[in-house]
Amino acid sequence: MAVTVRLSKMPMRRRLVNTLTRVVVALGGAGVIAAIVLIFVYLLWVVAPIFSATNIETGLAYDLPAGDTLLVTTNETDEVGLRITRSGDATFFGVSSGRSSGFSSDLKNTEQANASVSDRSISLGRTLERVIEVAGHTGLYAAVDTDGAVTMLQASYPVAFDDDVRVIQPSLDYVFEDDWLEVEASGALDVYYGDFEVRIAKIDRRSLTIHQYRDAEPGFALELPRRGRLQLDTDYKRVLFGPRGQWLYLLGVDGTVEILDIARPTAPKSIYIGRLVPENRTATAVEPLLGRYSLLVSDDAGLVTQWFVVRDEFGYQFKSARRFELDTPAVRLVPEPRRKGFGAIDAAGHIHLFYTTSQRSLASADLVTEDVVFASIAPRSDLMLTAARDGTVQSYHLDNEHPEISWSTLWSKVWYEGYSEPVYSWQSSSADNDFEPKFSLTPLLFGTLKGAFYAMVFAVPVAIMGAIYTAYFMAPSMRRLVKPGIEIMAALPTVILGFLAGLWLAPIIEANLSSVLSIILVMPVGVMVCAWLWSRIPDGITRRFDGWYGLMVLPVLLLTIWIAFAIGPWLETQFFGGDSKAWFLENWGLSYDQRNALVVGLAMGLAVIPTIFSIAEDAIYGVPTHLVNGSLALGATPWQTLIRVVMLTASPGIFSAIMIGLGRAVGETMIVLMATGNTPVMDLNIFEGMRTFAANIAVELPESEVSSTHYRILFLTALVLFLITFAFNTLAEIVRQQLRNRYGNL
Amino acid sequence: MVKKDGLKLNAWFASGEPWVWMNAAAVGISIAAVVGLLLLIAARGFAHFWPASVAQLDVEFPNGVSGVLLGEIADRESLSANQYLESTGQTTEALEPEQAVVERWLIKTGNRRVAPPDFRWVATHYIQAIDYPENALVLERMEWGNAYGFLEAVYQDGELSSEGEGAWSDLENRLKRSVGLRVEIHALESGELNGINYALERLRLERRSLDRRGTVDDATREARLSALAEEENLLLASFQDAESRLRSLEESLARDSIRISTSSGQELEVSLSEILRAWRPNSMSTPQKASHYLRSLWIFLSEPPREANTEGGIFPAIFGTVMMVMLMSVLVTPFGVIAALYLREYAKQGAFVRLIRIAVNNLAGVPSIVYGVFGLGFFVYFLGGNLDALFFPDALPAPTFGTPGMLWASLTLALLTVPVVVVSTEEGLTRIPRSIREGSLALGATKAETLFKVVLPMASPSILTGVILAVARAAGEVAPLMLVGVVKLAPSLPLDGNFPFVHLERKFMHLGFHIYDVGFQSPNVEAARPLVFATALLLVILIIFLNLTAIMLRNRLERRYRGVEA
């Protein structure tokens, strides 16, 4: 009969403390798991949206005054919409309320413009032919009237606070003082404004005219234009400015395209003539993509193709990089204003969303209204507005946060604008707004593995061999010093290793490349010679030094390093023609960076040696002595015993040591950051640098905009790192637990 | 051992003896790397503060140009003739006939503003004569780095005060005066002015909060607002007063000036407000140099950095590192100890415990940068953002806690170092013999009482070991801190005289990041390098000291329990 402890007799307080302690301690234990799960789940939670599906939802229909719509657009925050009609009336309307009242509008320079102001709309006072978006400048529009005069308009949406209520007072202003430019445009035209220069190109069948207004300052009058003219061989019906106004795309009736170089607008020069669609097809719509590097072309077979200029050895080529297929031909293409995506409206009344870089077909939906005469996508790409022939305006909500990413964009080659072929590239940001971000993780993964590989090539032999000697041969009194000594190296901050590698070691290696390379040969040979000489000394003397070789070999190592540096200059002239770096470039095609994989391999190797050494040493040292003694008793030499018995038994432990070391090398940040150039190149060349996941995060995350695609991709790389090391560590831990069981059985 | 006489090479290889030597060499490499690294850092770091002699070099270049260089010899190296020509872009005319090796010196000539660059390589075969003039003067200036030259005259208010031989002692006396003035200026700036600015900012926030909240009725609001305005006027008045005192101090500091002549023959007028220290290394005795050394060391440890961190001291970095690790220890210790207690004392050994162990091992193995990413996303943006919205809406859109800072850095590193504490505590708990626990329980103590009165006190040294190791790890960690709170230059310390004294939301400086920043982001790497070595040395000493303490503690523990277990 067991003795029952009657806890009920204990004072309340003691019992309470006891229970409370148990609860708190149990919570603490669970807290460890909670922490690691939280890290994983949080990273996943940030990453998840980039793989979420795109949605199109039908929004409000707006009841605006009747009119033939030439433009509908919204402001930055999707609060105020603007419509301009053929009769020259501009109306602001509330996007979420659907009403056109509640704004007081004002047109500056009212008298000069001869425009009337009402409480909800403004009249430009002229009948308009069309309204187009100005190239090179988002948010500017050019209106063309029936007489061929052009003006540039800018809608602004200043926010004021009236009794703590946010009020937007939109206005539509002329950009330049002398509002209407009489350019006598009878055919098609396009307007570019950038770098304080306005360019207007008009095409009338075969004659092209370019007006160049220099020193264009908003709010001031434009100076008299300089004109350039060109007579062409074929008829063209449309003209579009290219990137930064340096090119002109001319589009013919039958799908021909001609590209002109107008770096000097007074002397345009043809650089390419070709076709956008096959002979038997016609182009149904052509629109430029953001930045105007690319043209999107839809044909009557339902194909939408992306074209851009590639410069190769044959000069300029206009290449079709990718295609999107539709069941029904697209009649209208709607580019996104801030990204390289676009919408397409087909003849059967559907909207489709696409993204070029990732070549994704994102979503489709039915149009609510028929006869769409105009469509646009809001600046933040979360709203689409369509205008029907009868004047009604309809909105569609787009849930389309991260279209530029797909699994294949992250890991496969992608054909970026202006590149002659698909490539792997990581280039996340640029000063340009119309820059196409390149988010291929492959170069980073490659760099991560490259760095880890070179580190392991150096660290594994040194650490494992060192562990063997320390655990198996070393005198105990020396081992007591050596083991903690090397383990202290694990505590050495990697920032110090990185600093020494980058600022001290890298210049030394660069100046003495042949010496450093010769160490690989000289050092083992030197040690061998020393061992041979040692074996010639009678046993009686040498036996006393058994177990102290590790210390005795130090002078030999220093001597070999000295020899290597002494023969370096001789090697340099003898084998490398006086310059080893040039020799490697000429003979093996290896270019040399000062901060390269060799430096990283040495520094990071040094950082992981203690980790591998310590665990491997424990595993070898833990091999039961009766196994060793048995082997020795059977007549095996110590070396045979080591190879056949000890190493075999300890191999799982050594494996786990290597895994943990690898995990550390993969995630090391500071050394890579400081000892390489951090260029995301894909080249195994040991004399070039790389960019790893970890270094990339350290460099880019502080500057990345929260919740942007870039931010989420950086979190994705952190998650990948987490998973890689998680796999290595869990594997190592499982192997180690099995090892523990095995030793238990022996 | 193996018989050696008449042994063939093959047999020798078969005996395994050469491989034993190779293994020994691997240990040798590791030892040499550890010792070599530490020696390198120590040598470079300690040497930085020793006042180097100022050499005057008569240089004649092959193109006939000759000149005089005055400065410290910062580095020496020898190159093969080829490398030398390549790196300098010269032709063989730059060499002596038959010359195979070129030795060159890096001369720190200072005077960055009048005669840049302040570092230049000179091949020794161009040097005609080396002299160490007794009266060569080194000036440590507020800006533009050191100046080297010869003291010509000392002026007071533009009037000549002394010239020639007597000028040096005159300058020394005047420098003592300016040191006193500088102390006063510093006290005024960091004490009074800083306090007033802080109070003004609080007034601004309170006014915003009154404007924003509709809860207060108009009358009380008006009353409060006028009280605030009054307070503000008082503060502004005292601000102006302090500022005028500051200005007069600064004027008084700029009273004296000196004229020096440089090696290139230029005359340079320097105000004493520009000069921090002046010394003549060539005429200093060894004890004088030693005292100069200690002074320099003290300045390095106690003063904030100047000149984009390339000069001055590293006090804010030391302070930030220490405060961050202290805060981190407070956070990590309970968590780590409780987790270890659960694993050893409370949990039934089984699948769940194995899972926890795998989690602990993984926490230890996850790259530190991943903690940084998690800390930035979860602590800073998620927790911090929500805290701001709840408690600091007046300061918005300027974030208070929704931006990297001390608290988040400590939390992130606490998470990172949990495994260290868990493993070490567990080790200590395993060592405590079962019999002791059973004894306590048998005497009627509850499990909690046994834990608090018997187990924890016995395990406390190993807990301490764990915390020390965690501190050592945290002090050296840089990558996550770059994301969650460390900056290259923090305007104010996270601890000061303004209520509530501890400002956990502030960004801070850190020794490790300082090394990265000064070594790699600094505009003048050459000038900053000795300082980086000194900082690295400090960090290494700190970390090795912590680790050795932990090891010693552990060894003592082992000895203590050997008695108990027997």
What pLDDT score does B137 carry? 87
Instruction: Using CB atoms, pick whichever of B15, B342, B469 lies closest to residue A639.
Output: B15
Q: Which residue has the higher pLDDT, B33 or B216?
A: B33
What pLDDT score does A489 carry? 83
DSSP annotation of B94 reads G
Q: Is residue B4 very low, low, confident or very high in pLDDT (cuts 50, 70, 90)? A: very low
Q: Please answer yes or no on whether B31 and A493 come within 8 Å at the CB atom.
A: no
Considering B388-397, B412-421, B543-552, the range whose residues carry the highest mean pLDDT is B412-421
Write out residues 91-120 of B within 8 Å (CB-CB) of A.
Answer: 100-101
Q: Which of B256, B283, B310 is the last residue of a domain?
A: B283
What pLDDT score does A112 carry? 31
Burial tier of A542 (Cβ tally within 10 Å: 0-12, 13-18, 19+): middle
Average pLDDT over residues B152-162: 85
* Phi/psi-derived region of residue A376, left when phi > 0, alpha when psi is between -120 and 50, beta in every other case: beta
Q: Please answer yes or no on whether B377 and A46 come within 8 Å at the CB atom.
A: yes
B358–A contact, CB cutoff 8 A: yes
Tokens 């397409």 -> residue: A344
Sequence letter at residue B274: E
Q: Please answer yes or no on whether A639 and B19 come within 8 Å at the CB atom.
A: yes
Mutate to test the interface with A, among B27, B39, B331 (most CBs of A within 10 A): B27
What pLDDT score does A2 carry? 52
Instruction: State pLDDT tens for residues B405-416.
Output: 899 999 999 999
Q: Strand B146-156 to strand B136-141: parallel, antiparallel, or no bridges (unpaired)?
A: antiparallel
Chain A CA closest to residue B353: A29
**Residues B65 and B98 reside in one and the same domain:** yes
B538–A contact, CB cutoff 8 A: no
A535–B contact, CB cutoff 8 A: yes
B379–A contact, CB cutoff 8 A: no
What pLDDT score does B562 carry? 65
Which two three-digit tokens encode residue A126? 């002229």
**Residues B247 and B104 reside in one and the same domain:** no
Residue B480 domain flag: yes
Q: Is residue A108 very low, low, confident or very high in pLDDT (cuts 50, 70, 90)? A: very low
pLDDT of B162 strictly over 70: yes
A196–B contact, CB cutoff 8 A: no
Q: What is the mean pLDDT of chain A?
A: 85
B34–A contact, CB cutoff 8 A: yes
The Cα A687–Cα A598 span in angstroms is 6
**Residues B335 and B224 reside in one and the same domain:** no
Average pLDDT over residues A409-416: 89
Write out residues 598-617 of A within 8 Å (CB-CB) of B.
Answer: 606, 609-610, 613
pLDDT of A117 strictly over 50: no
Instruction: State pLDDT tens for residues A628-649.
Output: 999 999 988 888 888 888 888 8
Residue B551 domain flag: yes
Strand locations in A195-346 (E) = 197-214, 226-241, 247-252, 256-261, 269-275, 283-288, 294-299, 303-312, 315-325, 330-335, 341-346
Average pLDDT over residues A385-406: 87
Q: Please answer yes or no on whether A25 and B367 come within 8 Å at the CB atom.
A: no
Q: Please answer yes or no on whether B547 and A673 come within 8 Å at the CB atom.
A: no
**Residues B41 and B58 reside in one and the same domain:** no
A524–B contact, CB cutoff 8 A: yes
The Cα B278–Cα B107 span in angstroms is 19
pLDDT of B499 strictly over 80: no
The boundaries of the domain holding residue B547 are 319-560
Least confident window among A116-120, B50-54, B137-141, B227-231 = A116-120
Residue B537 domain flag: yes
Size of interface A-B (CB pairs under 8 A): 347
**Residues B215 and B247 reside in one and the same domain:** yes
Q: Please answer yes or no on whether B363 and A491 come within 8 Å at the CB atom.
A: no
B479–A contact, CB cutoff 8 A: yes
Q: Across the strands, what pairs with A49?
A: none
Q: How many Cβ atoms are within 10 Å of A247's Cβ, its own excluded?
A: 21
Chain A CA closest to residue B539: A493
What pLDDT score does B206 carry? 81
Instruction: State pLDDT tens for residues B19-78.
Output: 888 888 999 999 888 899 999 999 988 888 888 888 888 888 777 778 888 888 888 887
**Residues B161 and B223 reside in one and the same domain:** yes
Helices (H) and strands (E) in chain A, counts: 18, 31
**Residues B330 and B279 reside in one and the same domain:** no
What pLDDT score does A119 carry? 41
Q: Please answer yes or no on whether A484 and B335 come within 8 Å at the CB atom.
A: no
* Phi/psi-derived region of residue B412, left when phi > 0, alpha when psi is between -120 and 50, beta in every other case: alpha
The Cα A198–Cα A215 span in angstroms is 8
**Residues B217 and B125 reside in one and the same domain:** no
What pLDDT score does A47 carry? 92
Write out residues 498-537 of B within 8 Å (CB-CB) of A.
Answer: 512-513, 515-516, 519-520, 525, 529, 532, 536
Residue B452 domain flag: yes
Cis amide linkage into residue B116, ω under 30° from 0: no
Q: How far is CA A619 from the centre of its chain?
A: 42
The Cα B191–Cα A642 span in angstroms is 69
Which two three-digit tokens encode residue A120? 């909800």
Q: Please answer yes or no on whether A674 and B520 come within 8 Å at the CB atom.
A: yes
Considering A38-47, A471-480, B503-512, the range whose residues carry the highest mean pLDDT is A38-47
Which two three-digit tokens encode residue B165? 């031989």
Q: Please answer yes or no on whether B369 and A714 come within 8 Å at the CB atom.
A: no
Q: Please answer yes or no on whether A495 and B516 come within 8 Å at the CB atom.
A: yes
Q: Is residue B565 very low, low, confident or very high in pLDDT (cuts 50, 70, 90)? A: low
The Cα B372–Cα A670 span in angstroms is 13
Number of domains in chain B: 4
Q: Which residue has the higher pLDDT, B54 or B98?
A: B54
What pLDDT score does A592 carry? 85
Residue B105 domain flag: yes
Listed residue (A171, A167, A169, A191) closest to A181, CA to CA: A191
Instruction: Using CB atoms, pick whichever of B16, B338, B448 lies closest to residue A28.
Output: B338
* Phi/psi-derived region of residue A635, left when phi > 0, alpha when psi is between -120 and 50, beta in every other case: left
Tokens 């002299």 -> residue: B131
Which two three-digit tokens encode residue A740? 């523990």
**What are the angstrom distances between the C-alpha of B520 and each of A78, A504, B119, B524?**
44, 12, 18, 9
**Residues B89 and B179 reside in one and the same domain:** no
Instruction: State pLDDT tens for residues A499-536.
Output: 999 989 998 888 888 888 888 888 889 988 888 888 88
**Residues B458 and B443 reside in one and the same domain:** yes
DSSP annotation of B347 reads S
Q: Strand A165-168 to strand A350-355: parallel, antiparallel, or no bridges (unpaired)?
A: unpaired
Q: Please answer yes or no on whether B363 and A674 come within 8 Å at the CB atom.
A: no
Q: Tell me if B241 sits within 8 A of B105, measured CB to CB.
A: no
Q: Which of B283, B303, B327 is the last residue of a domain?
A: B283
A507–B contact, CB cutoff 8 A: no
Q: Which of B283, B311, B345 is the last residue of a domain?
A: B283
Instruction: State pLDDT tens for residues A589-623.
Output: 888 888 889 999 999 999 999 999 998 998 898 88
Q: Which residue has the higher pLDDT, B22 or A64?
A: B22
Q: What is the mean pLDDT of chain B?
A: 84
**Residues B117 and B155 reside in one and the same domain:** no
Q: How far is CA A209 from the centre of its chain?
A: 41
Instruction: Using CB atoms, pick whichever of B41, B82, B356 lies closest to residue A32.
Output: B356
Chain A CA closest to residue B532: A499
Instruction: State pLDDT tens for residues B460-472.
Output: 888 888 888 898 8
A525–B contact, CB cutoff 8 A: no
Q: How far is CA A521 from the centre of its chain?
A: 41
What pLDDT score does A447 carry? 93
What pLDDT score does A269 carry? 85
Sheet arrangement for strand A341-346: A330-335, A341-346, A350-355, A360-366
B443–A contact, CB cutoff 8 A: no
B28–A contact, CB cutoff 8 A: yes
Instruction: State pLDDT tens for residues A370-388.
Output: 788 889 998 888 899 998 8
Instruction: State pLDDT tens for residues B170-193.
Output: 888 888 888 888 888 888 888 888
Instruction: Using CB atoms, pick whichever of B21, B31, B376 lies closest to residue A527.
Output: B21
Q: Please answer yes or no on whether B21 and A502 come within 8 Å at the CB atom.
A: no
Side-chain-side CA neighbours of residue A82 (13 Å): 28
Which two three-digit tokens encode residue B340? 């270890």
What pLDDT score does B60 carry? 83
Mutate to test the interface with A, among B85, B370, B378 (most CBs of A within 10 A): B370
Residue B304 domain flag: no
Share of chain B above pLDDT 70, in %: 96
Q: How far is A410 from chain B (nearest CA, A)?
A: 20
Share of chain A above pLDDT 70, in %: 94
Residue B187 domain flag: yes
Q: How many Cβ atoms are within 10 Å of A536's Cβ, its own excluded?
A: 10
What pLDDT score does B212 carry? 67
Listed residue (B109, B56, B106) closest to B76, CA to CA: B106
pLDDT of A746 strictly over 70: no
Share of chain B above pLDDT 90, in %: 17
CATH number at residue B95: 2.30.30
**Residues B159 and B229 reside in one and the same domain:** yes
Residue B233 domain flag: yes
Global pTM reads 0.87
- B366 CB neighbours in chain A (<8 A) are 36, 39, 667, 722, 725-726, 729
